[in-house]
Amino acid sequence: MKASQFYINTLKEAPADAEVVSHQLMTRAGMIKKLGAGVYTYMPMGLRVIRKVEAIVREEMNRAGAVECVMPVVQPGELWSESGRFQTMGPELLRVKDRHERDFVIQPTSEEAVTDIARQDLRSYKQLPKNLYQIQTKFRDERRPRFGLMRGREFVMKDAYSFDRDEAGAKASYQAMAKAYRAIFDRFGLTYRAVSADSGAIGGDLSEEFQVIASTGEDAIVYSTGSDYAANMEKAEALAPAGPRPAATQALTRTPTPGKSTCADVAELLQLPLTQTVKSLVLATDELNEQGEIVKSQVWLLLLRGDHDMNEIKVSKVPGLDKGFRFATVPEILAHFGTKPGYLGPIGLKQPVKLVADREVALMADWVCGANEEDLHLTGVNWGRDLPEPDLVVDIRNVVAGDAAPDGKGQLAIERGIEIGHIFYLGTKYSVAMNATFLAEDGKPRHFEMGCYGIGITRLPAAAIEQNHDERGIIWPDALAPFTVVICPVGMDRSEAVKAAAEALYADLLAAGVDVILDDRGERPGAMFADWELIGVPHRVTIGDKSLKEGQVEYQHRRDGEATKVPAGDIAAFVKGRLLA
Amino acid sequence: MKASQFYINTLKEAPADAEVVSHQLMTRAGMIKKLGAGVYTYMPMGLRVIRKVEAIVREEMNRAGAVECVMPVVQPGELWSESGRFQTMGPELLRVKDRHERDFVIQPTSEEAVTDIARQDLRSYKQLPKNLYQIQTKFRDERRPRFGLMRGREFVMKDAYSFDRDEAGAKASYQAMAKAYRAIFDRFGLTYRAVSADSGAIGGDLSEEFQVIASTGEDAIVYSTGSDYAANMEKAEALAPAGPRPAATQALTRTPTPGKSTCADVAELLQLPLTQTVKSLVLATDELNEQGEIVKSQVWLLLLRGDHDMNEIKVSKVPGLDKGFRFATVPEILAHFGTKPGYLGPIGLKQPVKLVADREVALMADWVCGANEEDLHLTGVNWGRDLPEPDLVVDIRNVVAGDAAPDGKGQLAIERGIEIGHIFYLGTKYSVAMNATFLAEDGKPRHFEMGCYGIGITRLPAAAIEQNHDERGIIWPDALAPFTVVICPVGMDRSEAVKAAAEALYADLLAAGVDVILDDRGERPGAMFADWELIGVPHRVTIGDKSLKEGQVEYQHRRDGEATKVPAGDIAAFVKGRLLA
């Protein structure tokens, strides 16, 4: 490609709404252009990156035996009612009515569409397993779209769906995808982790996220310093501390704490470590009648160490809370504790509550908690002596750095990540809902065992930039760069020698299949270099009249501090060598 | 590709709603699957065809200097209000409201989006010309979607938009696209015509359609047997007949025609040729005040020869009718003619009308028309003698086969076509509406001169099938086939020799870059051949145990009546030779 034939439009300034570096740099490099909130045009320079992502994903999906199709963007609401998602999904599902007032949705994923295909086409176990994937436009009507391609409303996703005859087959399909995903992300040249994830609303019980490591990532991911263990924060288990519980050494004491309603404030006032304090969280569950009216409510008190945070996913799996819970109302709190939040605790209740202690709290001695009276806490609290043992002892907290790894090997560390892939074992969630069956070997209909597997095609370049940039711009890994090599002739219009050398190198690299661009725009060197550093092309060759007269040209990798002089005759071989490295 | 690794699902029966052969065959061949009305999944076999279309289109667009981008499917209504299309387009524009109740549209084309890009990016004449294109999902909410991919609601289109500094530049861009389109359709191996078209509502004054010739086509296309002239029916000009008007030979006579209200009936009753009759069409135009209320209406009488049809596009360009017209109401007709439609004519009016004669009618003598009395016609009507000359003489009819070609060379012939491409010179229609300007050489802002250029990517395979099929299925041109060659081993599971020969040929063709599929499914020969004939793979090699023992395999082109025996050792070279042919 010659730059004069291409579409290059770099900007000095990022738009005011670009909060993250990938959004800033992709906009400044002319890779994306905002058309509306969360809706971007993939400009020629950006589209080249996206096409490289697509090509690698496609190759590895095909290699793993998946078959490509393309499902519609606009899908009938009827089908989405079969799975129930038309009703259960929130406003992030963009709903449309056509001219006949029929319901449609703009697909955010395609479980319904692909299950509808399977129940028509895959009639016998002999046709299984099958894995259908597409690389297609999706829409999710985010309440607050931002961060450019990181959290757009319209985006491109690769979504694959596997159909198997039984659970073992489905898990094998899942593992094949896990392997393909590693191959894909390895090829991109990104630093990433595959982490165990909670499978959440999508169902199933086996799920991994692929996270690109970046300090700006939205997700906290947890890994062990002593093993392969890795999980996202929602999923990472906090082990019970080594027991037994220490013996009580202090007497239970009512301690004035005027105006100190947080554990941190209380610990500071009493000059105790925060780890000695216990925080009280009050939840409630409701029993409904057939009309959906609340007939009975139960209040729950959850105890967590003062320095720990509640993990909502874990709480949602506690027996009794697993059918749904809510935070208690102020009247409920007053009725059970006799005081306002800030001074709550498990001792001296007006009405009984279900008492849930985090594993850590259950093994504490001489702890501090609210006294259920305003401006008053209890110190020297001890289980058994001052209050009965809790009803339940469970893991309900987020892990923190330094916790023991759940596999017993090493300690947990935490870093930030950007989710670019997610694989799920779905089981029969969709096939049962949509009555999608095949004839099994015994001649009886059986529901498909399914899995689904996503990669954020347009999010991936943004994640790559969050991981790979400097103050001058983007630094693409070779596999993702819009162009792998840029040739920058200086004074091409004034020097025939420069022009000839640039054209010769361009022709040589092109013939070798290198994705090279020759900057023949006639820009001044400073502007030209700034453009390519912003755009992030990894390999640059500069050809200038003066050094050419000395038989030299300059090579500089985007990460190099300075250029390397290379004999003009060797430059093509030199560049190819750098690409192989 | 091995068939066992692919997704093949052929059907014996076409769905009941498949009215045209391409819809029937694409469904039966497992290329598309209906998800909803006018909304189809491109199944793996069909997607391969679509990808081949895309690849050729992309290559030729790039070669012509256009640059690829991808604009959003979901576009802000605000932008569409700038061009006015949000208001003026009918219900075929799918409108959506997002969670914040903001208007969006699902793009049917992208003039607004690309003009928005140009007015931000293309600031100087030095950046022009530019041509941006995309291959992207579109939606048009057809009232009655049908014919499968021929008239779907969701479809894929290649749409390109050129930006030039002046009209001469824009016309050069237009001609470059016309050339690229010919290169594209030539490569597809289809029989097509480029025909002049009316540029219609999209504006501008230069437009060509690319029509795939097929007897099932929806469009009538007109060409000259004696020159390159070709146009669509809307556009094709009907020349004035050679004058002068013959002299009158008959007296004006009131002739009873009870119950004969059509020209055909009258001609039959009176035993006159239909070409001697004249039909009367009554239109009206309205003058509106600022409140949009009708303040004055004008009735128009259009006269056409009895065997001719009115051409609405031509009528819409007649001076006085070019601001919009409607058919006259029955009260208007009664007030002006004194009788009901069926017996109308230009003689003996109650109130004056604007009289428009088709060029043909203006030169007729001794003609027949309604007498403005029920069950009565006039014969022997002559201009000048029986009624004044018409107010306007214009071309307002569709041409018919045998008409003289407008370029004076040869006669017109008519055939059916399917529109697969359309190119328009737009002028400044969108750039003025959206105030999209660049700085011209004189330092002053000037509106972009634009063109737009579409190809129906997903419609093209359907058009190719309408042109290329037989009773057994599809017959793909090599360039469009999902696979170019299929190897059909017979009894591969029983014969090691067959398996080895099939695998060897497969490996050889694959290494030569041939898009080959090996049918290793173990189907019986009849079912296997029927599948591939239905799917339409152009080149088939059959390897059977018996003939292999005689050192022979069979080659058959999809159009061949029978197979050709080829020595087993020569088959790879033989097949490659057929591909080059």
Contacts of B193 by beta carbon, 8 Å cutoff, 6+ apart: B210, B211, B213, B221, B223, B230, B417
| Paired residues of A256 in beta bridges | A376
Confidence band of A200 (pLDDT split at 50, 70, 90) = low
Quote the pLDDT of residue B144: 87
Contact call for residues A154 and A118 (beta carbons, < 8 A): no
Q: By the CB < 8 Å criterion, does B130 face chain A?
A: yes
Out of A5, A43, A74, whose CB is closest to B106?
A: A74
| Tokens coding B75 | 């576009």
CATH topology of domain B253-394: YbaK protein (3.90.960)
Q: Is A106 within 8 Å of B43 when comparing Cβ atoms?
A: no
Entry field: residues in chain A: 581
- The answer on pLDDT for B364 being more than 70 is yes
Entry field: residues in chain B: 581
Separation between Cα atoms, residue A123 and residue A113, nearest integer Å: 17
Name every chain B residue with its beta carbon within 8 A of the beta carbon of A104: 36
Q: Taking the mean position of all CA atoms in its chain, how far away is CA A498?
A: 47
- The answer on pLDDT for A203 being more than 70 is no
Q: Which residues make up the CATH 3.90.960.10 domain(s) of chain A? A: 253-394
Separation between Cα atoms, residue B1 and residue A372, nearest integer Å: 72
Name every chain A residue with its beta carbon within 8 A of the beta carbon of B2: none
Quote the pLDDT of residue B198: 79
Q: Determine the residue of chain B that is closest to A28 in CA distance.
A: B121
> What are the distances in angstroms from CA B575 to CA B486, B487, B539, B550?
11, 11, 8, 19
The SS3 of residue B70 is: strand
| Paired residues of B516 in beta bridges | B485
Q: How much of chain B exceeds pLDDT 90, in percent?
A: 92
Q: Determine the residue of chain A that is closest to B136 in CA distance.
A: A137
Confidence band of B201 (pLDDT split at 50, 70, 90) = low
Q: Is A47 within 8 Å of B33 when comparing Cβ atoms?
A: no
Three state DSSP letters for A273-308: CHHHEEEEEEEEEEEECCCCCEEEEEEEEEEEECCC
- The answer on pLDDT for B203 being more than 60 is no
Treating both helix axes as pointing N-terminal to C-terminal, what angle do B459-467 and B21-28 enclose, rounded to 10 degrees?
110
Q: Is A44 within 8 Å of B79 when comparing Cβ atoms?
A: no
From A99's Cα to the closest Cα of chain B, the distance in A is 6
C-beta neighbour count of B554 within 10 angstroms:
18
From B102's Cα to the closest Cα of chain A, the distance in A is 11
Within 55-74 of A, beta carbons closer than 8 Å to B belong to 65, 67-74
Q: Which of A175-179, A272-276, B290-294, B452-456 bottoms out in mean pLDDT, i.e. has the lowest? A: B290-294
Name every chain B residue with its beta carbon within 8 A of the beta carbon of A50: 70
Q: Is B72 within 8 Å of A36 when comparing Cβ atoms?
A: yes
Separation between Cα atoms, residue A273 and residue B62, nearest integer Å: 68
Q: By the CB < 8 Å criterion, does A13 face chain B?
A: no
C-beta neighbour count of B305 within 10 angstroms:
22
Instruction: Give the residue from B479, B460, B451 showing the smallest Cα distance to B177.
Output: B451
| Tokens coding B163 | 């930006």
pLDDT mean over B328-334? 94
CA dihedral (B433, B434, B440, B445) in degrees, to 10, reads 90
Contacts of B258 by beta carbon, 8 Å cutoff, 6+ apart: B375
Quickly list DSSP for B469-533.
EETTEE---TTT-SSSEEEEEESTTT-HHHHHHHHHHHHHHHHTT--EEE--S---HHHHHHHHH
Name every chain A residue with its beta carbon within 8 A of the beta carbon of B9: 121
Per DSSP bridges, beta strands B485-490 and B516-518 are: parallel
Q: By the CB < 8 Å criterion, does A7 face chain B?
A: yes
Contacts of A265 by beta carbon, 8 Å cutoff, 6+ apart: A257, A259
- The answer on pLDDT for A70 being more than 60 is yes
CATH topology of domain B483-580: Rossmann fold (3.40.50)
Q: Is B75 within 8 Å of A130 when comparing Cβ atoms?
A: no
Q: How much of chain A exceeds pLDDT 90, in percent?
A: 91
> Could you report the per-residue pLDDT of B235-269, keeping only the tens digit for each?
999 999 988 999 999 999 999 999 999 999 999 99
| Tokens coding B58 | 């992309």
Q: Determine the residue of chain B that is closest to A112 in CA distance.
A: B35
Confidence band of B146 (pLDDT split at 50, 70, 90) = confident
Q: For chain A, report the end-to-end CA distance as a whole number of angstroms.
A: 23
> Could you report the per-residue pLDDT of A392-429, keeping only the tens digit for each?
999 999 999 999 999 999 999 999 999 999 999 999 99
Q: CATH homologous superfamily of domain B3-237+414-465?
A: Bira Bifunctional Protein; Domain 2 (3.30.930.10)
- The answer on pLDDT for A204 being more than 70 is no
CATH topology of domain A17-188+429-465: BirA Bifunctional Protein; domain 2 (3.30.930)
Q: Please state, rounded to an integer, the average pLDDT across all residues of chain B.
A: 95
Contacts of A142 by beta carbon, 8 Å cutoff, 6+ apart: A38, A92, A151, A152, A153
pTM of the model: 0.91
Contact call for residues B510 and B516 (beta carbons, < 8 A): yes
The SS3 of residue A70 is: strand
> Could you report the per-residue pLDDT of B155-185, keeping only the tens digit for each?
999 999 999 999 999 999 999 999 999 999 9
Q: Is A94 within 8 Å of B92 when comparing Cβ atoms?
A: no
> What are the distances in angstroms from CA A427 to CA A48, A419, A488, B544?
37, 23, 55, 43
Contacts of A412 by beta carbon, 8 Å cutoff, 6+ apart: A222, A223, A224, A225, A236, A399, A400, A401, A402, A403, A404, A405
Name every chain B residue with its beta carbon within 8 A of the beta carbon of A144: none
Q: By the CB < 8 Å criterion, does A207 face chain B?
A: no
Within 143-162 of A, beta carbons closer than 8 Å to B belong to 143, 153-154
Q: Which residues make up the CATH 3.30.930.10 domain(s) of chain A? A: 17-188+429-465
Q: Determine the residue of chain A that is closest to B11 in CA distance.
A: A121
Q: By the CB < 8 Å criterion, does A341 face chain B?
A: no
Q: Which residues make up the CATH 3.30.930.10 domain(s) of chain B? A: 3-237+414-465
| Tokens coding A237 | 């288990």
Confidence band of B365 (pLDDT split at 50, 70, 90) = very high
CB-count exposure of residue A508 (10 Å: 0-12, 13-18, 19+): middle
The continuous run of DSSP H or E covering A543 comes out as strand A539-544
Out of B7, B35, B40, whose CB is closest to A130?
A: B7
Q: By the CB < 8 Å criterion, does A91 face chain B?
A: yes
Q: What is the DSSP letter of A152?
A: -
Q: By the CB < 8 Å criterion, does A444 face chain B?
A: no
Instruction: Give the residue from A83, A73, A82 showing the smallest Cα distance to A107.
Output: A73
Higher pLDDT among residues A201 and A47, named by residue: A47
Confidence band of A30 (pLDDT split at 50, 70, 90) = very high
Q: Which residues make up the CATH 3.40.50.800 domain(s) of chain B? A: 483-580
Name every chain B residue with its beta carbon within 8 A of the beta carbon of A42: 69-70
Quickly list DSSP for B112-163.
HHHHHHHHHH--BGGG--EEEEEEEEEE---SS-BTGGGB-SEEEEEEEEEE
Separation between Cα atoms, residue B478 and residue B579, nearest integer Å: 8
Instruction: Give the residue from A203, A209, A155, A210 showing the smallest Cα distance to A188.
Output: A210
